[in-house]
Structure 1
Amino acid sequence: MAEDPRESMQIHSHGKPPSARRALVLATVGFAVTFWAWALLSPLGATLREELSLTSFQQSLLVAVPVIVGSLGRIPVGALTDRLGARRMFPTVALLTVLPVLYLGHFADSLAGYLVGGFFLGLGGTTFAIGVPFVNSWYPPERRGLALGIFGAGMGGTAISAFSTVQLAAAFGPNFPFDLVAIVLVVFAAIAFLLLRDRPDRPVPSGSMLTRLAAALRTPVALQLSFLYAVAFGGFVAFSVYLPSYLSTAYGLERGDAALRTAGFVVLAVAMRPVGGWLCDRYPPIPVLTCTYGAVTLLAALAAFELPLAPVGTVAFLGLAAALGVGTGAVFALVARLVEPSRVGAVTGLVGAAGGLGGFFPPLVMGVIYGIFGDYSIGYVLLALTAAAAGALTATVVRRQAARWRGAS
């Protein structure tokens, strides 16, 4: 069914026609639902460790496999979205994710079985690379920052999993969370197939997927934006995964208290992502990002002192949540401005993969540092230095790339 051309014209004059709003809502819901599925194993890590008699390394591997696959899978999925469109890709990926969800809920009963299921569960983490080019195509440049920030808040699907998986399993049985997520995925796939529409005039790239991925890698800002997103989103993921253990070990908090404080961190970071996009609609993205990484640098240095939680430590962690959330939204506002539309999906795949992988390594580094020195402060110093490097890169190299892009356009 073709879109009304008058409606297509309204996109650029008013920014939010009915189809654009519908596209944003459906993409955000789809992102949240598939991320909910993607994060199902993480809350069950401790339970599975006891049931399967796993070592700490095996438990970490079990939780990490979906993260790695979901992150790397964004690269081909983003390139396919450029070619096939979100109307095909969103329902397809949602339905394919149902299979590992049901397998994990009903058939996996060993470490090998959970690793295989977790590998394919990684599909749920690839939808970020579908939604960004889709939302990007429906909104004009001056409104893309907020729109992409709202879409990015769908990463709160991981919080849904964190809040509900263990509780649902305890209340209704271990299979129930998986069955519920499978049903939700099927319902979303049906709704997306019926209601989702790609922009009729969206640019469709030519050439093979490998050719387009190679072209994305040659895009001047792709690797730079990948590093910036690895610091911002990777920092968010790392804190959401490791903060409960850190608070329990460093401050002696009970598990429940540490989990609730971590949930507050996650919710604040998710809420600030649209704010980062909105700020980049109002002000140039380069100064927004530079200030954001400067804030992360200062707050990480403050956290390194392990000051009392009330109030300084809490301020440091909540400040980090806000800054990292703003940073994730601002980076993709910059992607929308510096990458030509036909390559947004492929570049999003690369940048999104870097963000996911960026969250994988910091917990390992923190664990090694604590194991050697019995102290977390060096890890926070490394975060501060990395954020400072990201700020310097933004203020110099990326600023020059943005200036060249404005001159060329």
Structure 2
Amino acid sequence: MSGGRWIQHWDPEDEAFWRTTGRRIANRNLLFSVISEHIGFSVWTLWSVMVLFMGPEYGVDPAGKFFLIAVATLVGAVVRVPYTFAVARFGGRNWTVFSALLLLLPTGAAYAVMEPGTSYTTFVLVAALTGVGGGNFASSMTNINAFFPLHRKGWALGLNAGGGNIGVPVVQLAGLAVIGTAGAAHPRIVLGVYIPLIVAAAVCAALFMDNLAPVRNDTGAAREAVRARHTWIMALLYIGSFGSFIGYSFAFGLVLQTQFGRTPLQAASLTFVGPLLGSLIRPVGGWLADRYGGARITLGTFAAMAAATGVVVYASAVESLAVFLVGFTALFVLSGLGNGSTYKMIPAIFRSQAYAAGLTGEAADAYGRRLSGAAMGLIGAVGAVGGLGINLAFRQSFQATGSGAYAFTAFLAFYAVCIAVTWAVYLRGPAPTGAATASEAPARRRLDYSEV
């Protein structure tokens, strides 16, 4: 390690290095990465809470509120691409500090404008600023991916993402606490709580995180990731898992208010449960993928999501809030599982591609880390666009029919596509992709994608 907390040598696949040195450092970086990403998710989904404070005096109809959260979703998706490559350019620790401090901009701006009489255009611009919180996920996942060995990536990435995802229900709980105690006229209390938390996250990252010198900005890796068909196949699947999670997280409270006539307090008291369960179970999805194969877990998850969507469509038709909540909560839980399993698949796919190309040992491991790190940003960005699609679908469905049933029918069709793609590409039969480990490359049978 040299000055500025740069680690010069890093080889997590070396068992002796991992046991004596790597595991402790990796776990420390994971902890403080989770803290920063957690705050980032809270800021990104801030407007799913702010719209609950926007009563008739704000002059914004339900369609306008759906558009506000859609703008935040879109910007968060777009900035994930540059955030991914910023880790290698500036260092994981350095970028975590900067990106955490950047969260002060949207939070402070929302504090300044959140009152009746503010123009709708201003609200749209401030909502767009919160998109920088969505970028934190991409840089955090790319950074943590480089710290852990392949056999620990599913759990580590799931824990990192799950801890970050919990920022969604936490900010919703903060909104519920404020509405329940001070009333719906005091949204600035929520914002005031987060400003010192942002500063604390940045300080912790500066004091306790590290940069990895072996991770260098590699435009070649980015070009290869763009050309790789598995990047885009996994992006499609991530639309189905993470796009569902973030889209539903943004929209849940508004759906309850618009379709079932819940008050802001009633909606806020329900919205946090689904995102909380989906966040907590994400590491389990990664662990199950480590144990049984990401493709198998992903396929089962999408099949179950299709069934849960059918329940929600039925509940919308009979106007049963209780059944609706059961189906919607199941969607959150299942999307959380799918988030963990799909992200586990990415490094395993590219490592197996390395063996197919004739690489072995550290060369194959380095190739897998290099390509999966570049691909994760693209996959995460496209997946987040799925959240935009969900919010726009809800907006159109409520505008046209006053119900979200048509939107859910569209989501059901998309989950059917995800099921078909997962089975056809990763489970239908063995793929010529190389051996499972370098030492066993000549002896063991070649991996099929069902083992990723």
What is the TM-score of this pair, normalised by structure 1? 0.87
Q: Could you tell me whether the CA contact under 8 Å between 2:107 and 2:194 is conserved in 1?
A: yes
Q: Could you tell me whether the CA contact under 8 Å between 1:68 and 1:356 is conserved in 2?
A: yes
Question: Partner residue of 1:300?
Answer: 309
- Count of paired positions: 405
- Once residues 383 and 11 of structure 1 are traced to their aligned partners in structure 2, the CA distance between those partners, rounded to angstroms, is 46
Please list, as runs of the form range in 1=range in 2, the aligned pairs for 1:116-131 lying within 5 A after superposition: 116-131=125-140
Question: Partner residue of 1:325?
Answer: 336
- Once residues 325 and 354 of structure 1 are traced to their aligned partners in structure 2, the CA distance between those partners, rounded to angstroms, is 17
Amino acid at match of 2:218: S
Amino acid at match of 1:278: W
Amino acid at match of 1:301: G
Structure 1 residues 249 and 178: alpha-carbon distance in aligned structure 2, compared to 1, 3 A threshold: closer
Note the alpha carbon deviations across 1:116-144, whole angstroms, 9 max, x for none: 33333221210111111221111111111
- Once residues 404 and 70 of structure 1 are traced to their aligned partners in structure 2, the CA distance between those partners, rounded to angstroms, is 36
Name which of structure 1's ranges 268-277 and 358-367 shifts more when overlaid on structure 2: 358-367
Note the alpha carbon deviations across 1:21-78, whole angstroms, 9 max, x for none: 1111111111001222222233112434645423444433333322211111001111
Question: Is 1:194–2:194 an aligned residue pair?
Answer: no
Structure 1 residues 238 and 70: alpha-carbon distance in aligned structure 2, compared to 1, 3 A threshold: closer
Question: Is 1:288–2:292 an aligned residue pair?
Answer: no
Question: Partner residue of 2:237?
Answer: 228
Question: Is 1:182–2:195 an aligned residue pair?
Answer: yes
Give the structure with the higher percent helix: 1
- Per the TM alignment, residue 168 of structure 1 is displaced from its structure 2 partner at its CA by 4.1
Question: Is 1:387–2:415 an aligned residue pair?
Answer: yes
Question: Is 1:360–2:388 an aligned residue pair?
Answer: yes
What is the TM-score of this pair, normalised by structure 2? 0.80
Q: Could you tell me whether the CA contact under 8 Å between 1:285 and 1:333 is conserved in 2?
A: yes
Amino acid at match of 1:352: G
Q: Could you tell me whether the CA contact under 8 Å between 2:285 and 2:336 is conserved in 1?
A: yes
Give the percent of matched residue pairs that are identical in Structure 1 and Structure 2.
24
Q: Could you tell me whether the CA contact under 8 Å between 2:286 and 2:340 is conserved in 1?
A: yes
5+ residue gaps, structure 1, are none
- Once residues 130 and 111 of structure 1 are traced to their aligned partners in structure 2, the CA distance between those partners, rounded to angstroms, is 31
- Per the TM alignment, residue 196 of structure 1 is displaced from its structure 2 partner at its CA by 0.6
- Per the TM alignment, residue 293 of structure 1 is displaced from its structure 2 partner at its CA by 0.8
Q: Could you tell me whether the CA contact under 8 Å between 2:88 and 2:217 is conserved in 1?
A: yes
- Once residues 373 and 280 of structure 2 are traced to their aligned partners in structure 1, the CA distance between those partners, rounded to angstroms, is 24
Question: Partner residue of 1:164?
Answer: 174
Amino acid at match of 2:23: P
Note the alpha carbon deviations across 1:208-265, whole angstroms, 9 max, x for none: xxx6543321122111111111111111223223333444555565554443333221
- Per the TM alignment, residue 11 of structure 1 is displaced from its structure 2 partner at its CA by 5.4
Note the alpha carbon deviations across 1:159-213, whole angstroms, 9 max, x for none: 121111364487495544333322211221122112111345x342434xxx654
- Once residues 199 and 193 of structure 2 are traced to their aligned partners in structure 1, the CA distance between those partners, rounded to angstroms, is 10
5+ residue gaps, structure 2, are 351-367, 439-452
What SS does structure 2 have at the residue aligned with 1:181? Answer: helix
1:263 pairs, out of 263, 269, 272, with: 272
What SS does structure 1 have at the residue aligned with 2:314? Answer: coil
- Once residues 338 and 212 of structure 1 are traced to their aligned partners in structure 2, the CA distance between those partners, rounded to angstroms, is 15
Question: Is 1:30–2:36 an aligned residue pair?
Answer: yes
- Once residues 219 and 356 of structure 1 are traced to their aligned partners in structure 2, the CA distance between those partners, rounded to angstroms, is 20
Q: Could you tell me whether the CA contact under 8 Å between 1:205 and 1:342 is conserved in 2?
A: no
- Once residues 279 and 356 of structure 1 are traced to their aligned partners in structure 2, the CA distance between those partners, rounded to angstroms, is 23
What SS does structure 2 have at the residue aligned with 1:54? Answer: coil
- Once residues 22 and 13 of structure 1 are traced to their aligned partners in structure 2, the CA distance between those partners, rounded to angstroms, is 14
- Once residues 271 and 318 of structure 1 are traced to their aligned partners in structure 2, the CA distance between those partners, rounded to angstroms, is 13
C-alpha RMSD of matched pairs (Å): 3.1
Question: Partner residue of 2:362?
Answer: none
Name which of structure 1's ranges 127-136 and 302-311 shifts more when overlaid on structure 2: 302-311
- Per the TM alignment, residue 145 of structure 1 is displaced from its structure 2 partner at its CA by 0.5
Name which of structure 1's ranges 65-74 and 238-247 shifts more when overlaid on structure 2: 238-247
Question: Partner residue of 1:87?
Answer: 93
Question: Partner residue of 2:51?
Answer: 45
- Per the TM alignment, residue 380 of structure 1 is displaced from its structure 2 partner at its CA by 2.7
- Per the TM alignment, residue 267 of structure 1 is displaced from its structure 2 partner at its CA by 1.3
- Once residues 112 and 403 of structure 2 are traced to their aligned partners in structure 1, the CA distance between those partners, rounded to angstroms, is 41
- Per the TM alignment, residue 14 of structure 1 is displaced from its structure 2 partner at its CA by 7.8
Q: Could you tell me whether the CA contact under 8 Å between 1:49 and 1:55 is conserved in 2?
A: no
